[in-house]
Homo-oligomer: A and B are copies of this chain.
Amino acid sequence: MPWMDYLFGPPLATDEEGEQRVGVWAGIPMLGLDALGSAAYGPEAALTLLIPLGLVGVGYIGPITTLIILLLAIVYVSYRQTITAYPHGGGSYTVARENLGNNAGLIAAAALMLDYILVVAVGISAGIGALVSAVPDLQPYTLPLCLITLALITIVNLRGVRESGLAFLLPTYLFIVTLLTVIAIGLAKTWTSGGKPIPVTLPPIPPKAEAVASFWILMKAFASGCTAMTGVEAVSNGVGAFREPSVRYAKRTLSVIIGVLAGMLAGIAYLSHVYGIAATEPGTTHYDSVLSMLVAAVVGRGVFYYITIGSVLVVLALSANTGFADFPRLCRAIAQDGYLPNAFAHRGRRLVYTQGIMVLAVLAGALLVLFGGITDKLIPLFAVGAFLAFTMSQAGMVVHWRKVQGSHSRKSMIINAAGAVCTAITLVVVLISKFAEGAWIMLILIPTLLVVFNGVNAHYRSVAREVATDLPLDASDVVPPLVLVPIRGWSAISRKALRFALKISPEIYALHVADDERAMLALEEGWSRLVQEPAKAANRVPPRLIVSYSPYRRLYAPLKQVIEDLKRAQPNRDIAVIVPELVGTRWYHYVLHNQTAAAIKIYLNLSGFRKVVVINVPWYLGES
């Protein structure tokens, strides 16, 4: 099918896999978009919860961000160790499963799967949301634009890893360079002005304080700010995507991503403070994002503003790509261990995991449709999944180092243990402060996925037991099957099918299900001349014609009846149903002809006949 090549590129052999791997430059956009993009919503999410505190609230963004960056540093050091210990890709799933057991691994996997689906839906809707607030005429087309973006990202990903890296390179680096430049300019202005820079565009004056700072409010702000840390695990999970020496490339990539992210978070927090930028209430007419106000305050609403904000939007929309890079890999790992349908374990045409990509696209698309393309409320769910996965992974690493032993491993174990404790505490904080806002959904979905995983595994193990055999082939009492050929009338198609029947058995029945009397009579009258006489002339047993009238428009009921009669008469014989099928030479021919053969096969399978075999004799258009 050439259109598949055109859309998805020609298929690749396994040997070409090495060439599809990336270095640091391509690795950052591929695995870092999610982590970097969260700089755009993490500080915003924290500041939004500080709105009731008025301008005073902005003062708290400093300590909160410091705490988040500290946490980020701990997680960074822990994940570097994970990359060393698992050079073939140590996602939270692998690390937790190998060290803490199956269910621990599956919990981490469930958390991450949900996060990847969320990141795709939320990333796209955040990007498109910002686009439509820039161009309000597009407002009614929010959802279609989201779905078109999803389709584009899906196609890019079905084409394969390298191309998707390239497609995301430019916007990612534009985002990094412009945002860091804005921060640098802001810092320079702050210093030259002695800590009191004059905003180029004045940010709106924060509303009067309606509340005083309480531990609960600050905790909620911290929990929201933690969404800035989502996506950090992507690199350790995707070590396998780097070219050799992959461990070194992966570590460098992780360092750059974390360094840039920390710089952005610190810069945004500091400049928000000195410029006095408070968040505005989302969903109101005077809403403006923190990043937008900040950039406008530092450089004004000129060309540079639009380039910066434009790259933010693109990176948000594309951060979805991290989900596409990692979800299929994760599903593959789970499927290879027998906890997901094994279709997920197969690589597709271009060495990517077609099934995983398709499932992810469908689930994210369903979320987008369900929420009409506006998914802000899903953001808190992120942090739950991310910190659950962090914690399982770090805890797994602690057990890993205990097994390895040695002085070096003792130091590593302490680092990972510190990481596990910190992320576990954060997880509890996030769960408590975000429980009512949706965190409870994760507490339902994760155990549900766990049940599904274990159910799938139990099924595969039972099938493997059932199918295993050491019995040799039974070649005794081999008799040809009874052959049944349903025919609609005399045609080149039924003629070919009957000839094939002659080749495999001497006992042939043709079944005509009548719904039109004229066709029935014509067939009955012609049977002797068209079928019986030539068969007799060639010394073959002539096929018999069975005619059955059906009050239903389907041929299933009479077909089932005839099969049951044949089975009753000769219980030990196999019955082969030959289904003549018209095969088109163009794809649209499939639409034009009823897929009777496939329908009959499914029907007979579902009917539970044990000894019925379906034989498909194709008749090609243009064959005669």
Contact = CB atoms under 8 A, between A and B. Distances in A.
A530 B616 contact: no
Nearest to A455: B588
A618 B459 CA distance: 18
Interface string A343-366: 100110000000000000000000
A517 interface: no
A535 interface: yes
Interface stretch (A58-66, A188-196, A442-450, A491-499): A491-499
A474 interface: yes
Contacts of A500: 481, 574, 613
A372 B475 contact: no
Most B-side CB within 10 Å, residue of A15, A347, A374, A469? A469
A610 interface: yes
A408 interface: no
A140 B475 contact: no
B469 A491 contact: yes
A56 interface: no
Contacts of A463: 582, 621
A505 interface: yes
Contacts of A605: 583, 618
A370 B467 CA distance: 48
Contacts of A505: 504
A11 B473 contact: no
A178 interface: no
9 contacts: A140-B371, A144-B371, A342-B593, A456-B592, A463-B582, A472-B531, A473-B499, A481-B503, A504-B576
A467 B480 contact: no
Contact of A616 (B347, B475, B601, B620): B601
Interface in A518-571: 529-531, 533-535, 537-538, 540, 543, 551-553
Given A144-B369, A492-B467, A535 B582 contact: no
Contacts of A369: 143-144, 147, 369
A284 interface: no
Interface string A580-616: 0011010001011110001001000110101011111
A142 B531 CA distance: 63
A304 interface: no
Nearest to A551: B13
Contacts of A440: none
Contact of A475 (B14, B540, B591): B540
A341 to B, nearest CB: 5
Most B-side CB within 10 Å, residue of A471, A612, A622? A471
A352 B471 CA distance: 51
A143 B143 contact: yes
Contact of A13 (B467, B473, B552): B552
Given A147-B369, A460-B592, 17 more contacts: A140-B372, A141-B371, A141-B372, A372-B372, A463-B621, A469-B490, A470-B530, A473-B530, A473-B534, A473-B535, A478-B503, A583-B605, A601-B616, A610-B623, A614-B615, A614-B618, A616-B616
Contact of A372 (B144, B476, B537, B585): B144
Given A481-B504, A591-B341, A476 B552 contact: no
Nearest to A341: B592
Given A466-B492, A503-B480, A140 B374 contact: yes
B615 A14 contact: no
Given A472-B534, A474-B534, A613-B615, A622 B466 contact: yes
A214 interface: no
A478 B538 contact: yes
Nearest to A605: B583
Copies, count: 2
A475 B620 contact: no
A436 interface: no
Contact of A11 (B529, B552, B619): B552
Contacts of A551: 13-15
A617 interface: yes
Contact of A502 (B478, B534, B617): B478
A600 to B, nearest CB: 10
Nearest to A535: B475
Given A491-B468, A591-B341, A605-B583, A503 B475 contact: no
A468 to B, nearest CB: 7
Contacts of A622: 466
Contact of A495 (B372, B456, B474): B474
Contacts of A14: 551-553
A506 to B, nearest CB: 10
A135 interface: no
Interface in A122-158: 140-144, 147
A552 B11 CA distance: 9
A221 B249 CA distance: 69
A416 B579 CA distance: 51
B621 A613 contact: no
A102 to B, nearest CB: 19
A120 B457 CA distance: 44
A529 to B, nearest CB: 6
Given A341-B591, A491-B469, A537 B475 contact: yes
A616 to B, nearest CB: 5
Closest 7 CB pairs of A and B: A475-B538, A504-B504, A467-B491, A614-B616, A469-B492, A472-B530, A13-B551
Contacts of A147: 369
A474 B496 CA distance: 8
A303 interface: no
Contacts of A456: 592
A438 to B, nearest CB: 15
